Structure 1
Amino acid sequence: MQLIWKSTFTGNETRIFRGKVLAGLLKVSNWKDNAYGELDGHMLRFKTRGFWKRHTQILSIEGERELGRIEYNMWNGNATIVYQDNEYQWKFGSWKRNKWTVTDSESVAHFTKKSLWKNQGEIEYEYISSAIILIGLFVNTYFQRISASA
């Protein structure tokens, strides 16, 4: 299956399309690395914590139930996602950081940024939850913000 994503210049809002139909949205806070989003009925909230060893809690949209966690490895540019007791690996596919993947033992999602100047791209996936697609976009936004502030 294929999705198209388009972010604003600042990366605060990412819209996810299936063809020309809006399928989902990811909104990131201006001042914190917190966000919320929805894709195909999966509604999630992201709350980033920590100073030296940062991690993000994946919460229900109300913020009451913890569904998972993201652990970042800043030096290698990858992350480990634990979502509903399943573990996924998020990593860049090129040194230009225009491709990244989210994988587990059975499935993979490929994300591609189409242009250096425009913040948009494609997502190719099979047999992977829409929640993981949303989490993969959040992790990329997190790494972009860290790179921009360095």
Structure 2
Amino acid sequence: MSLIINSNFSGTESRLFRGKLIVGLLKINAWKEDGYGELDGSMLRFKTRGFWNRVTEIRDIEGVRVLGSIKYNLFKGSAEISYEEASYSWKFSNWMQQQWVVKREEDEASFKSTSFWKYEGELFNEGIPSAVLLASLFVQGHFRRMTAAS
């Protein structure tokens, strides 16, 4: 499955397309590092906690049930996504942070940017659940904000 991702300049809203059909959306609050999104029926909220050791909780859309978490490693440009008792590793594929990959065993999804200034690109998926794809986009947004702040 291949998805096209278009984002506004600030990166606070990303739209996901399959061809010309919109199939998902991710909105991130730039001030609180919280967000919500939907992709192929998976509707999630993201709530970030902590200062030095940031952890993002992945919750259902009502924000009641915790479904997983995201733990960041800023120095390595990587993260660990836990979702419904499965662990996925997320990392940048190049030093310019224009490509990333998320994987678990043989399942893998990769993103390749098609624009230097704007967050646009193509997401190729081989077996990764849509909820983890949303979390992966949230992770990329998190690292983008961290690099912009420094």
Structure 2 length as normaliser, TM-score? 0.98
List alignment gaps of at least 5 residues for structure 1.
none
| Runs of 4+ in structure 1 over 2 Å off | none
Look up the equivalent residue of 1:28 and give its one-letter code. Answer: I
2:73 maps to what in 1? 73
Output the CA distance in 2 between the equivalents of 1:107 and 1:46: 23
Provide the rounded CA distance (Å) in 2 between the counterparts of 1:88 and 1:128.
Answer: 9
What is the aligned-residue RMSD (CA, Å)?
A: 0.7
In the alignment, structure 1 residue 58 sits paired with structure 2 residue 64: no
The 5 Å alignment of 1:1-150 reads 1-150=1-150
Using the alignment, how far apart are the partners of 2:30 and 2:80 within structure 1?
Answer: 24
TM superposition shift of 1:79 = 0.2
What secondary structure does 1:142 align onto?
Answer: helix
Structure 1 residue 30: Cα displacement: 2.8
User: Percent same amino acid among aligned pairs?
Assistant: 51
Cα shift readout 1:21-78 (whole Å, capped 9, x = no counterpart): 0000000013111000000000000000001111100000000000000000010000
| Structure 2: gaps of 5 or more residues | none
Residue 127 of structure 1 deviates from its aligned partner by 1.4
Task: State the alpha-carbon separation in 2 of the partners of residues 127 and 54 from structure 1.
Answer: 27
Other structure's SS at 2:30 match: coil
Q: Deviations over 1:119-146 (max 9, x none)?
A: 2000001111111111111100000001
Hey, what's the Cα distance between the residues in 1 that align with 2:109 and 2:125? 4
Q: Specify the code of the residue in structure 2 equivalent to 1:12.
A: T
TM-score by length of 1: 0.98
Counterpart of 1:92, as a letter, is F
> What count of residue pairs does the alignment treat as equivalent?
150
Shift of 1:106: 2.5
CA distance in 1, matches of 2:126, 2:116: 26
